[in-house]
Amino acid sequence: MTDNRLLMPELFGSDVFSEAVMKTKLPKATFKELMKVIHGDAELTLPVAEVVASAMKDWAVEKGATHYAHWFQPMTGITAEKHDSFISPVGDGTAIMEFSGKELIKGEPDASSFPSGGLRATFEARGYTAWDPTSYAFIKDNALYIPTAFFSYSGEALDKKTPLLRSMEAVSKQTVRILRLFGNNDVNAAIATVGAEQEYFLVDKKSYDKRKDLIFTGRTLFGAAPVKGQELEDHYFGTIKQRVGKYMEDLDRHLWALGVASKTKHNEAAPAQHECAPIFESANLAADHNQLTMEIMKKVALEHGMVCLLHEKPFQGVNGSGKHDNWSLTTDDGHNLLNPGKSPMENAQFLTFLVAIIKAVDEYADLLRVSVSTAGNDHRLGGNEAPPAIISIFLGDELTEIIDAIVENTDVQSKRSQFDIGISNLPKFPKDTTDRNRTSPFAFTGNKFEFRSVGSSLNISDPNIVLNTIVAEALDEFATELEKAEDFTSALHELLVRTIKKHKRVIFNGNGYDDAWVKEATEVRGLPCYPSAVDAIPHFCDEKNIKLFVKHKVFTEVEIKSRTEIQLENYCKIINIEALTTVEMASKEILPAVMEYEKTLCETLLAKKSAGIGYNVESNLASSISVLAEDLNNKIYELEAVIIKAHGITDIFEASRCYHDEVFATMQSLRAIADQLETMVAEKYWPFPTYEDLLFNV
């Protein structure tokens, strides 16, 4: 829908039913009432919804929309939508455009085709979508999109938005309790803010179309390393190629029209890899906008003859793609609580939040790991370019020194300020951590935390649900203890010292890729280490984690169990598709190509032999290739056998283990043989585009 002639200020949000648009389109009283609803100060009533629906429809129809769609995020992770037209026949052969308050508030898509992980057996099959007035409606492809939550008849969440909203409420509530203790009576809510940096690859559509692996799995299942990789480090922040530049420009315009504040764009470390980062906003909006961003990225790429790959590891041996989830807490009056202050009082409050986060991450590192666990992200975590699978916190040297000093000077009592907790002699807090440790999974970057383990294709709701909830829990424990204290200052000091001592083990400023770190983290510090998704996901159901989510009303026990099942099922399905594609490509494309080349070699060999010319080259090459081809053929049989074995396992925990330990492992060894063959077979025989073609031809 973007109009290329629009200038930036008119373009931004031009397809969004934003607050500014509402202000002009809604009667004053309705606007006021709706704002109250958006800020959580009032319940939505049908009369208000009627007026809003009608205004929304008029605005949408004016912009060319013919349909409306309840837009939601089922547990597949991607978005779903059900379209209905505004058309309403009036009986005389004509029709009017109608949209009622009821239609705005509630939809009833068929829930049975979405994963529910056993929820459906327990509850009703019907699913409902409910308007989320905190996320603006927008226009895309001639339809009015209404962001909604998706849940079952009995109220179980069937989506990613519902628990995210619940977790935002939980962390808001506990944050306000802490702020009250610091004498702040003005703030009534806190908002979890998120800015998600999205990494991606662009490949040429013509090359893409020749690779079944890219088409079916989003990543290459075969491919020998290119002669030139990223070793020259000439791509990171390098000049953007013209074709890519045009794409980025077009992408930005599409995103801006939809109110997505895309801000930064640059090349990433790997060839053909890029990044797009928006300005942060509330976690809910950020999640909706990131889903939209991913969708638009793919769509616009096609218009430019390219394909946008969002997979975490499209190319083996080349940097993978992540999605840095920048997270912080902001008060409803706009104060970032992770901004170190200038005064000791501000610093004490900042430290309280900082230490609560340290405690939260240490106690629930397993949940953070679970929230980013997918088959795709397994290639990143633990690979040598992404954060390791072990969750630790990077604070930077200065902040770590401060933390250390607080613990060591336990008896320093301030004489200067009521709230000073022994930090008056400490150096000024670093405003910006210049040391950018790229190996840390969870890094403090000046005024926010950056969770780097998130995979590029993931729905950011999952990690943010966990972050919000675990921080809510730590703040809850702090508040409960401090509310009872007779002397707040000394109680706070004692609490912070005790908490830091207990959870310091999760702070690590060193190199996360170092093997020594794995040893130290697991053997000395006792941090959990789950190398694969299959190791991590079952811990979602650990007793302590169920207790946490139930307590903060983010998930019920049934919801957790169903989500665990869905996550494991998803893992199995992905490996299964990859394995089947591997078999298909190896047997129908690679082996025939290899045999074709062998034939040429043998024909040359025979011709040379009869001419009395030496034929050592042909003979040696044909023999080596022949041995490898036989190995490859055996591996195909082996892989087929383990696929059948995995299909036969009904228990999802057991099945996922089999997919990981046997199916995936066999795929890898099969690939190694095929990749070796690729280096020996003449280029013109190779059946699909190589890494060189894919990485350097955009």
Residues 6+ apart with CB under 8 A from 414: 344, 420, 421, 422, 424, 489
* Partner in contact with 302, chosen from ligand ADP, Mg ion, none, beta carbon below 5 to 8 Å by kind: none
Q: Which stretch binds ligand ADP (CB under 6 A): 172-180, 326-334, 534-542, 590-598?
A: 326-334
How many CB atoms within 10 Å of residue 211?
A: 24
> What residue spans of 272-425 are helical by DSSP H?
283-303, 344-363, 365-371, 397-408
Residue 392 CB, shortest distance to Mg ion, in Å, is: 17
- C-alpha dist (Å) from residue 178 to 196, 311, 499: 27, 40, 16
**C-beta closer to Mg ion: residue 169 or 268:** 268
**CA gap 624, 636 in Å, rounded:** 19
* Partner in contact with 14, chosen from Mg ion, ligand ADP, none, beta carbon below 5 to 8 Å by kind: none
**CA gap 583, 14 in Å, rounded:** 48
Residue 196 CB, shortest distance to Mg ion, in Å, is: 10
3-state SS, 51-103, equals: HHHHHHHHHHHHCCCCEEEEEECECCCCCEEEEEECEEECCCCCEEECCCHHH
Nearest residue to 132 (alpha-carbon basis) of 332, 258, 288? 288
**C-beta closer to Mg ion: residue 54 or 440:** 440
**CA gap 683, 187 in Å, rounded:** 66
Q: Which stretch binds ligand ADP (CB under 6 A): 306-314, 323-331, 419-427, 644-652?
A: 323-331
**C-beta closer to ligand ADP: residue 14 or 193:** 193
Q: Which stretch binds ligand ADP (CB under 6 A): 320-328, 398-406, 454-462, 490-498?
A: 320-328
- C-alpha dist (Å) from residue 146 to 57, 68, 218: 11, 7, 29
* Partner in contact with 568, chosen from ligand ADP, Mg ion, none, beta carbon below 5 to 8 Å by kind: none
* Partner in contact with 328, chosen from Mg ion, ligand ADP, none, beta carbon below 5 to 8 Å by kind: ligand ADP
Residue 458 CB, shortest distance to ligand ADP, in Å, is: 16
**Where do we find the tokens 């996922």?**
656
* Partner in contact with 626, chosen from ligand ADP, Mg ion, none, beta carbon below 5 to 8 Å by kind: none
Are 278 and 261 a contacting pair, CB within 8 Å?
yes
Residue 445 CB, shortest distance to ligand ADP, in Å, is: 6
Residue 195 CB, shortest distance to Mg ion, in Å, is: 9
Which of 127, 195, 218, 387: binder of ligand ADP (CB under 6 A)?
A: 195
* Partner in contact with 194, chosen from Mg ion, ligand ADP, none, beta carbon below 5 to 8 Å by kind: ligand ADP
At 646, list the tokens: 């995995």
Site string for ligand ADP, 528-547 (x = CB under 6 A): --------------------
* Partner in contact with 336, chosen from Mg ion, ligand ADP, none, beta carbon below 5 to 8 Å by kind: ligand ADP
Residue 106 CB, shortest distance to ligand ADP, in Å, is: 32
193 contacts ligand ADP (rule: CB under 6 A):
yes
For the chain, what is the radius of gyration of the CA atoms?
Answer: 28
> What residue spans of 209-264 are helical by DSSP H?
212-217, 242-257
Count Cα neighbours of 492 within 13 Å in the Cβ-side half-sphere: 27
Size of the site for ligand ADP (CB under 6 A): 16
Nearest residue to 150 (alpha-carbon basis) of 111, 194, 196? 111
Site string for ligand ADP, 440-459 (x = CB under 6 A): -------xx-----------
Interface residues toward Mg ion, by CB under 5 A: 197, 324
Angle at 38 between CA 100 and CA 371, to 5 degrees: 105
Residue 340 CB, shortest distance to ligand ADP, in Å, is: 13
Are 650 and 565 a contacting pair, CB within 8 Å?
no
Provide the b/e sequence for 39-58 (b: ≥16 CB within 10 Å).
eeeeebeeebbbbbbbbbbe
In the chain the first and final C-alpha atoms are separated, in Å, by 26
Count Cα neighbours of 645 within 13 Å in the Cβ-side half-sphere: 17
* Partner in contact with 218, chosen from ligand ADP, Mg ion, none, beta carbon below 5 to 8 Å by kind: none
At 165, list the tokens: 């909203």
Are 82 and 107 a contacting pair, CB within 8 Å?
yes
Q: What residues numbered 271-300 form the site for ligand ADP, per CB under 6 A?
A: 277-280
44 contacts ligand ADP (rule: CB under 6 A):
no
* Partner in contact with 447, chosen from Mg ion, ligand ADP, none, beta carbon below 5 to 8 Å by kind: ligand ADP
463 contacts ligand ADP (rule: CB under 6 A):
no
Which of 336, 600, 676, 690: binder of ligand ADP (CB under 6 A)?
A: 336
**C-beta closer to Mg ion: residue 208 or 451:** 451
Residue 280 CB, shortest distance to ligand ADP, in Å, is: 3
**C-beta closer to ligand ADP: residue 437 or 570:** 437
**CA gap 79, 75 in Å, rounded:** 9
Residue 329's beta-bridge partner residues?
Answer: 192
Backbone phi and psi for residue 269, each to the nearest 5 degrees, phi listed first? -60, -40
Which of 148, 220, 321, 328: binder of ligand ADP (CB under 6 A)?
A: 328
197 contacts ligand ADP (rule: CB under 6 A):
yes
**C-beta closer to ligand ADP: residue 472 or 572:** 472
386 contacts ligand ADP (rule: CB under 6 A):
no
**C-beta closer to Mg ion: residue 266 or 428:** 266
327 contacts ligand ADP (rule: CB under 6 A):
yes
**CA gap 658, 636 in Å, rounded:** 17
Site string for ligand ADP, 232-271 (x = CB under 6 A): --------------------------------x-------
* Partner in contact with 448, chosen from ligand ADP, Mg ion, none, beta carbon below 5 to 8 Å by kind: ligand ADP
Binding site for ligand ADP (CB under 6 A): 193-195, 197, 264, 277-280, 324, 326-328, 336, 447-448
